Chain A
Amino acid sequence: MLSRTAENLYWIARYMERAETTARFLEVGGRIALLPSAGGAGNMSEWNSLLRASGTEAGFAHKYGDPVQRNVESYFFFDRDNPSSVASCITAARENARIVRTALTTQMWDALNTAFHELRDWDRMERSELDMAQLTDWTLRHTAMLRGAIEATHLRNDGYDFLNLGYFLERADSTARLLDVKYYVLLPQIDYVGSGLDNYQWSTLLRALSAHRAFHWAYGGDVTAAKIAHFLILNQQCPRSLLTSVTAATTHLERLARGYGASGKAQARVRALLGELAELSVEDVFDEGLHEFLTRFIRDVAAVGAEVQGTYLIGDMR
């Protein structure tokens, strides 16, 4: 397969997963804003921390200044200046798809193309008529549609592996970032840890990951920081956990290595990361510090991404 084709496939998946993450960010922010703030007056606002966690804080501040909800919503959903906005991601995914149109199945192209055209309809509507929950649902529906089309129709060839690498590396990164929001949700005092307020925020996070009910089935009882961290980092059953994502990325890299008859740095890196996660306990994570652990993890995932890029997508492999 042409390296550039592999690259286009990889980025279609990354962009669609990113669109989904951005929509989930929006949902977390929206729900947190429904809570009374701890300090007394008004409600809570975590838009700042969301912007920071999504890595778009500087761009937003430059354009809008203070994070007012309506502006953040626009920025996260529609703004083409924000490379991670839902609109930017879907447009970029569709552009990548157009380039490799013939490497996609009709259903995959339909899923992307439909999303793109409907997005243009949203664009033409009055912002005041738009309901954020509707936009979030819409995004999740379309990302799921593409995902389903891939599973149902794409050949299980190397292209399938590159698509999945895109999905799972992006997902590992985004779950880590969503989780990191919790770190940024600065509690006024240490007493709040484990309090009702704290738990409400954790639950919001779970809802945003569409994992609220799954969590309760898996763990039961109270929501605690340790349970949630375990669920999102180490639980093999959670489809968005770090371990699940890294396991899947490893599987697809190993499939590639078998198919091509050559294993390289990308495989070595991802195996090392998987090995570490597999040995890890929640206590280890909290000992290291959740934020510190996540920061390191995000860097490690980026390093795997860089090896994939260097080995397969640039085409300099000899």
Chain B
Amino acid sequence: MTDAFFNEMFQSGRVRPPYAQLEGWTERMPASLRSLKQAEAEALFRRIGITFAVYGEGGDPDRLIPFDMFPRVFAHDEWRKLERGIKQRARALNAFLVDVYGRGEIVRAGRIPSRLVYLNEAYEKAAAGFVPPRGVYSHVVGIDLVRTGPDEFFVLEDNCRTPSGVSYMLENREIMMRMFPDLFRGNRIEPVDRYPQALRRTLASVAPQKCDRDPTIVILTPGHFNSAYYEHSFLADLMGVELVEGQDLFVEGEFVWMRTTRGPKRVDVIYRRLDDAFIDPLCFRPDSLLGVPGLMDVYRSGGVSIASAPGAGVADDKAIYCYVPEMIRFYLGEEPILKNVPTWQCANPDDLGHVLDNIADLVVKEVHGSGGYGMLVGPKSTKAQIAAFADKLRANPGNYIAQPTLALSTCPSFVDEGIAPRHVDLRPYCLVGERVELVPGGLTRVALTEGSLVVNSSQGGGVKDTWVLAE
């Protein structure tokens, strides 16, 4: 069964070069040491306070995401190619956003159907006609990738709004370095700890027109009940910026201010970890208590920058996803380096027919869904589950897309019985500001249940440290 999948460490009984230093590592580790290290890792996570709350599940809000100590490794060359592909994609997505909130050339040229753009729920009319500083809408682009072979990488989805998980990339590394310094002495592993400063630089580079000084940057969080709150506070701390909630900010005159013990302080760049709908109750949802009334007016008059810019979500919609290769050709005049997963759009009657005929072999997802909710993994579902899902699909086909079940690569992982291959994906975080930058690493998520292809932490997935070897 597992032979059908690309194993990142072993190929036909041989260890692939990037994993050479890890050969025998686990064999040399006695079982007692292993459980000791696992307990140590857990204690460290708990102590740092990295916990994870799953929406609507109740239970322990201080639950930990399982951490798997076996690292996932990329060779230098593999990574360089990925990096080029990721940056290319991040550039094209931003070019697309500037275009569709401006003249809409790509739609006029007939390369993307206009209804997918302008009737999209994520299309923000309030953002039309305004070009954010440096023409950047999405300042942190999280691109979810899976691997199916030595040279086969596919983009599963793009995250242009507020991709989360980068704190795990940083903490997983900290903890691995603390627990296994020998591994790092024996390998040349590129560091990732410059990410917070790179993010800060990126945000400073998109300060608004009216900002004539060293910009004041803040992170806007929905609050401490949010499942990613830990990450928000962690990033704020490492970047040396304030972590604010909507109630800490107010609009007066042409600017946004935060309430401090010394009195109001002007804010220039807001890195928001809050959906568009909640950032300004005057402009979007009037019932939102999380946002800042009047924020959008200040934004549009160049008094404050918002990252990601309102409206960025239209680029990471699952229906738009199919057209990203087209965007790359249209705006950059290049061929896409990273492949898309072939996708059937159920809104299209032909595609729907195909999907319904082959549903047992496909993965069907909601267009606007995320986090592994509301999806069907055909080969892993019962007949009854498939039938129920097919009914939902027929009732509202426009809400779904379908993709073939990908043979996700596996990476050795610690399981109860020892070491076993488990499926993994990868989310790198690409920064876009004055420059386009990618820290060599990312978040590797692993489906710790045997045979499972769902890596989402809300569905019992774990995380791994991700290594990129230096040249």
Check A2/B237 contact, CB under 8 A, given A101-B49, A315-B259: no
Interface string of B218-252 (1 = CB under 8 A from A): 00000010000010011011000011110110000
Contact assessment for B262 and A260 in the assembled complex, using a CB-CB cutoff below 8 Å = yes
Consensus secondary structure, chain A interface:
helix
Tell me if A318 counts as interface (CB < 8 A to partner B).
yes
Q: How far is the CA of A234 from the CA of B260 in the complex (A)?
A: 35
Q: Does B263 touch A at the CB level, under 8 Å? A: yes
What distance in Å separates the Cβ of B242 from its nearest Cβ neighbour in chain A?
5
B264 lies within 8 A of chain A by Cβ: yes
| Complex contacts, B260 vs chain A, CB 8 Å | 1-3, 315
Q: Collect the chain A residues with CB atoms within 8 Å of residue B47's CB.
A: 106, 110, 113
- Tell whether, in the assembled complex, residue B262 and residue A102 are in contact, meaning their CB atoms are under 8 Å apart: no
B261 at the interface (CB under 8 A from A): yes
Among candidates B234, B242, B248, B261, residue contacting A158 with C-beta atoms closer than 8 Å: B261
Contact A4 B259 (CB under 8 A): yes
A2 with B49: CB separation less than 8 A:
no
Tell me whether A2 and B258 are in contact in the complex, defined as CB-CB below 8 angstroms, given that A101-B49, A102-B234, A102-B236 are known contacts: yes
Contact residues in A for B49 (Cβ distance below 8 Å): 98, 101, 109, 113
- Tell whether, in the assembled complex, residue A314 and residue B259 are in contact, meaning their CB atoms are under 8 Å apart: yes
A4 and B248 contact, CB distance less than 8 A: yes
Q: Is A138's CB within 8 Å of the partner chain B?
A: no
B261 touches A6 (CB 8 A): yes
B286 to chain A, nearest CB (A): 24
Set B224, B234, B261: member contacting A3, Cβ < 8 A: B261
Binary CB contact string for chain A from 277 to 318 against chain B (1 if under 8 A, 0 otherwise): 000000000000000000000000000000000001111111
Are B237's CB and A3's CB within 8 A? no
For the complex, give the distance between the alpha carbons of A234 and B424 in Å.
68
> Are B261 and A1 closer than 8 Å at their CB atoms?
yes
Query: Contact check: which of A98, A312, A318 meets B264 at CB < 8 Å?
Result: A318
Docked-complex contact A98 and B261, CB < 8 angstroms: no
Q: Are A3 and B248 in contact (CB under 8 A)?
A: yes
Cβ–Cβ < 8 Å partners of A162 in chain B:
261
Contact with B along A97-111 (1 / 0, CB 8 A): 011111000100110
B237 x A102 contact (CB < 8 A)? yes
Please, what's the 1-or-0 string for B304-328, where 1 marks a CB less than 8 Å from any CB in chain A?
A: 0000000000000000000000000
The 8 A CB mask of A59-98 against B (1 = contact, 0 = none) is: 0000000000000000000000000000000000001001
Q: A4-B248, A98-B49, A99-B224 are in contact. Are A318 and B259 (CB under 8 A)?
A: no
Q: B238's closest neighbor in chain A, by CB?
A: A102
CB contacts under 8 Å to B, within A105-123, are 106, 109-110, 113
Whole-angstrom distance between the alpha carbons of A113 and B47 in the complex? 9
Contact of A4 with B236 in the complex, beta carbons under 8 Å: no
Which residues of the other chain, B, contact A101 by a CB distance below 8 angstroms? Answer: 49, 230, 233
CB < 8 Å: which of A95, A158, A260, A316 contacts B259? Answer: A316
> In the complex, are the beta carbons of A2 and B262 less than 8 A apart?
no
Majority SS at the chain B contact face = mixed
Interface size on A, residues (CB 8 A): 27
User: When the two chains form their complex, are residues A3 and B233 in contact, meaning their CB atoms are under 8 A apart?
Assistant: no
User: CB-nearest residue of chain A relative to B257?
Assistant: A315
- The A-B contact count (CB < 8 A) is 62
A312 touches B236 (CB 8 A): no
Minimum C-beta distance from A113 to chain B (A): 8
Question: Which of A2, A98, A316, A317 contacts B248, CB < 8 Å?
Answer: A2
In the complex, A220 Cα to B264 Cα: how many Å?
A: 54
Residues on A with C-beta less than 8 A from B233 are: 99-102
Contacts of B236 in A (CB 8 A): 102
Give the size range of B's interface with the partner.
20 to 34
Interface flags, A109-144, vs B, CB<8A=1, else 0:
110010000000000000000000000000000000
- C-alpha spacing A293/B131, complex, angstroms: 65
> Contacts A102-B233, A102-B237, A110-B47; is A2 near B263 (CB within 8 Å)?
no
How far, in angstroms, from A157 to B413 measured CA to CA in the complex? 46
Residue of chain B at shortest CB distance from A96: B224
**Closest chain A residue, CB of each to CB of B250:** A315
Residue-wise interface mask of A (199-224) relative to B, using a CB-CB cutoff of 8 A (1 in contact, 0 not): 00000000000000000000000000
CA distance A184 to B236 in the complex (A): 50
Chain A residue at minimum C-beta to C-beta distance from B244: A2
Q: Enumerate chain A residues within 8 angstroms of B258, measured Cβ to Cβ.
A: 2, 315
B334: shortest Cβ distance to chain A, in Å? 41
Q: Is the CB of A98 within 8 A of B262?
A: no
Which one of A3, A95, A256 has the highest number of Cβ atoms from chain B below 10 Å of its Cβ? A3
Contacts of B248 in A (CB 8 A): 2-4, 315
Q: Return A259 CB to nearest CB of chain B, in Å.
A: 9
Which residues from chain B contact A110 at a C-beta distance below 8 Å? Answer: 47
Least distance between A145 CB and chain B CB atoms (Å): 15
Cβ-defined contact, B224 with A317, below 8 A: no
CA distance A51 to B260 in the complex (A): 38
Asked if B262 and A317 make an inter-chain contact with CB atoms under 8 angstroms apart, the answer reads: yes
Does the CB pair A2–B259 fall under 8 Å? yes
A110 to B44, CA, bound (A): 12
Binary per-residue interface labels of chain B (418-432) against chain A in the complex, 1 for a CB within 8 Å, 0 otherwise:
000000000000000
Distance, CA A5 to CA B260, complexed state (A): 9
A100 to B223 alpha-carbon distance, docked (Å): 11
Contact code string B36-69 (vs A, CB < 8 Å = 1, else 0)? 0000000000010100000000000000000000
Q: Which residues of A contact B244 (CB under 8 A)?
A: 2, 4
Closest residue to A317 on the B side, CB-wise? B263
With CB as the reference atom, state the residue of chain B lying closest to A106. Answer: B47
Which residues of A in the span 234-283 have a Cβ within 8 Å of any Cβ on B?
Answer: 256, 260
**Cα(A130)–Cα(B224), bound, Å:** 33
Chain A's nearest CB lies how many Å from the CB of B383?
Answer: 43
Question: Within B166-221, which residues are at the interface with A (CB < 8 Å)?
Answer: none
- Contact code string B112-129 (vs A, CB < 8 Å = 1, else 0): 000000000000000000
Among A99, A113, A312, chain B packs the most CB atoms within 10 A around the CB of: A99
Contacts of A256 in B (CB 8 A): 261
Bound together, the chains give a CA A99 to CA B222 distance in angstroms of 12
Q: List 18 A-B contacts (CB under 8 A).
A: A1-B261, A3-B248, A4-B244, A4-B247, A4-B248, A5-B242, A6-B261, A98-B49, A98-B224, A99-B233, A110-B47, A113-B49, A256-B261, A260-B262, A315-B264, A316-B259, A317-B263, A318-B263
B interface vs A, CB < 8 Å? 47, 49, 224, 230, 233-234, 236-237, 242-245, 247-248, 258-264
| Known A2-B248, A3-B260, A315-B263; further 9 A-B contacts with Cβ < 8 A | A1-B261, A2-B242, A2-B258, A2-B261, A101-B230, A113-B49, A158-B261, A315-B260, A317-B262
Question: Which A residues fall within an 8 A CB radius of B?
Answer: 1-6, 95, 98-102, 106, 109-110, 113, 158, 162, 256, 260, 312-318
Q: Give 6 closest A-B pairs by Cβ, nearest first.
A: A315-B259, A102-B237, A3-B259, A312-B261, A99-B224, A317-B263
